[in-house]
Amino acid sequence: MKKKWLVIAMTTMVALTACSKDDPSATGTPGSAGNSAKTTEAAKQPKLSLNWSVTSAFLANVTLPSADKDFVKKTIEEKFNVDLKIDYMVIGKEYHDKLNATLAGGSAPDLFIAGAAESQKYINDGITANLSSFVTPATMPNYFKWVSKEEVDAFQLKQGEFSRAMLPFQRNTYASWYIRQDWLDKLGLKAPHTYAELTEVMTQFTKGDPDGNGKQDTYGFSAAGSGQNLPLDFPQWLNNGFVADFMIVDNSYVDNRTDLKVQNVIDQVVEWNKAGIVDPDWFLNKAPAHIDKAAQGKVGMIFTPGDKTIALDSVATSLQNRSKALDPKANWQPIYPLDKPVMWKYNVPENTILISKATADKNPEKVKRSLEIVNWLGSEEGFLLTHYGQEGKHYTKDGKKITLNVAAFESDIAKAGNWLNVYAVFTPDEPNVLGLELIDSRVSEHDRAILKTVEGFPKHNALPPVSLVPPNGINIGDFRKEMSKFHAKAVLDDKSGKNWPQYREELMTKFRGKEIFTEYTKQINAALKDKKLNDFK
């Protein structure tokens, strides 16, 4: 359900060339997907059986309907003359374990989606096909409306070797801190814009009785460390210039969480902890425990890296509505509380589309047909069908304006297992890419204002869109585990950042951090055309 709310909330138009019934590139030429089943080349070819394996973060509790109700499957099978079988799971270890077992058993899917790190192993193991002749702007014009040729080239593991297709991804990010505006108003405070002002607001939220119950039982801020880490939720990261997980600074790769200046982050977090203005359970909290505390009126500010629906009136389970159920005056608003140039970064690609080498060797027509379908899914027709349903029933279309029929969409799709998400994995929830504007009666003016604010927060571009993977034999998860132990030791045991330099040295040597980030620098340099990065230090 969450994914569809991300879809319906987006109403900003960006005028880009879109696929239409009059677009010559979208009509049934070889290698492209047409808008009419009668005009596709595939419809004239022998019928094929295709087996796909797909994954996404939005496939939890998703169930495909019976064949007679799955209008997407029916359309694809008729248009491209195939029998399509799709296995689907939420992305993560369980999905890749199942995929690995399938691959080891010699029955690789014809097309499958994998994480960036996992794709590296599949490619190195010789499981995947060379896609250079299949994935081009000429053969897949709709696909290349979502990604650029330069991005796809930079995404390859080796220059001149086309081993994986970039899964189109959501470009904008919706990170934001959210604050109780009604608490600010009650205490006569202005929204903070500097770290000093933010610290004062957090102090007043803790000691000034913002809920008016006569008790000192609230805290300024909370987060969820899951008993393991110092999350990026803490504004001290950004206050020291660290935006998300990595940046390019002064022509060098910077791993934000292991930089020498993390010492200052630790010191400032310790200061907030000592002042008692942070929920004392923040380290042990497991998400969404900190959000639950905020809903209960115990916390005045939280952070979310991507859920832009958290303060919307139109989402029944939002933090806003849960808080208002206890306090009708509750008013959560997005806030950018620091005087820094950017809050977060734009997304970079994470997942890949891979084709089985066995399929390519034995039946290249299956490869061609599969990628024709992927291309069609990126067209206006494919996008609308897989995100909003059937025209005239689930939505109406007037030019580029799409008006959702809420009742029909809820009944046939949202409440029927959110099953369109299985097919929507191939295009992100950004109708603006095709110049489309979605109109949904459930999104109020209040909600539109919040969405506009969150979407507009300044971010830095994290390109080139290279997928960073550690050297063979090094598990980045193991490295991050050790890093998190040192963060926790410094904050909770040392209660100081003074020992961070020696902790960092151990991470860079004993735990091979320098090898990892040297390799990352090489991968970025391979994707850069002009100026190269300095060696990692």
Amino acid at 205: F
Residue 472 exposed, middle or buried by CB count within 10 Å (0-12, 13-18, 19+): exposed
Cα gap 145→169, rounded to integer Å = 12
pLDDT at 465: 60
Question: Could you identify the residue written with the tokens 């067209």?
Answer: 379
Cα gap 41→377, rounded to integer Å = 16
* C-beta separation of 168 from 322 below 8 A: no
Query: Domain-by-domain residue ranges, the chain?
Result: 48-170+348-395+418-429, 176-344+463-527
Cα gap 305→238, rounded to integer Å = 13
Q: Which residues of the chain have pLDDT under 70?
A: 1-40, 159, 462-467, 529
Cα gap 173→344, rounded to integer Å = 8
Residue 522 exposed, middle or buried by CB count within 10 Å (0-12, 13-18, 19+): middle
Cα gap 197→184, rounded to integer Å = 12
Q: Which residues pair with 115 in a beta bridge?
A: 351
- pTM (2 decimals)? 0.75
Name the residue among 22, 62, 14 with its Cα closest to residue 379: 22
Contacts of 81 (CB under 8 A, 6+ apart): 40, 42, 43, 44, 45, 46, 47, 48, 369
The answer to whether 48-170+348-395+418-429 and 176-344+463-527 have equal CATH topology is: yes
Half-sphere exposure of 200 (CA within 13 A, CB side): 13
- pLDDT single digits (tens) 186-212: 999 999 999 999 999 999 999 999 999
* C-beta separation of 466 from 527 below 8 A: yes
Question: Could you identify the residue written with the tokens 């599969």?
Answer: 370
Contacts of 378 (CB under 8 A, 6+ apart): 19, 140, 142, 143, 145, 146, 168, 426, 427
Residue 189 exposed, middle or buried by CB count within 10 Å (0-12, 13-18, 19+): middle
Q: Which CATH superfamily is domain 176-344+463-527 in?
A: Periplasmic binding protein-like II (3.40.190.10)
Cα gap 509→291, rounded to integer Å = 37
Residues 434, 351, 359, 137, CA torsion sign: positive
Q: Which CATH superfamily is domain 48-170+348-395+418-429 in?
A: Periplasmic binding protein-like II (3.40.190.10)
Cα gap 57→317, rounded to integer Å = 19
Q: Sheet holding 176-180: strands in order across? A: 219-221, 299-304, 176-180, 332-335
Amino acid at 341: P
Cα gap 254→242, rounded to integer Å = 9
Contacts of 458 (CB under 8 A, 6+ apart): 341, 342, 343
Is the preceding peptide bond at 288 cis, omega within 30 degrees of 0?
yes
Is the preceding peptide bond at 464 cis, omega within 30 degrees of 0?
yes
Cα gap 144→132, rounded to integer Å = 14
pLDDT at 413: 93
Under DSSP, the state recorded for 26 is G
* C-beta separation of 444 from 504 below 8 A: no
CA distances from 266 to 196, 237, 239, 489, 501 (A): 16, 9, 12, 10, 12
Cα gap 353→350, rounded to integer Å = 11
* C-beta separation of 521 from 287 below 8 A: no
CB atoms within 10 A of CB 507: 22
Which tokens in the block code for residue 64?
Answer: 């495909």
Paired sense of beta strands 219-221 and 332-335, if any: unpaired
Residue 23 exposed, middle or buried by CB count within 10 Å (0-12, 13-18, 19+): middle
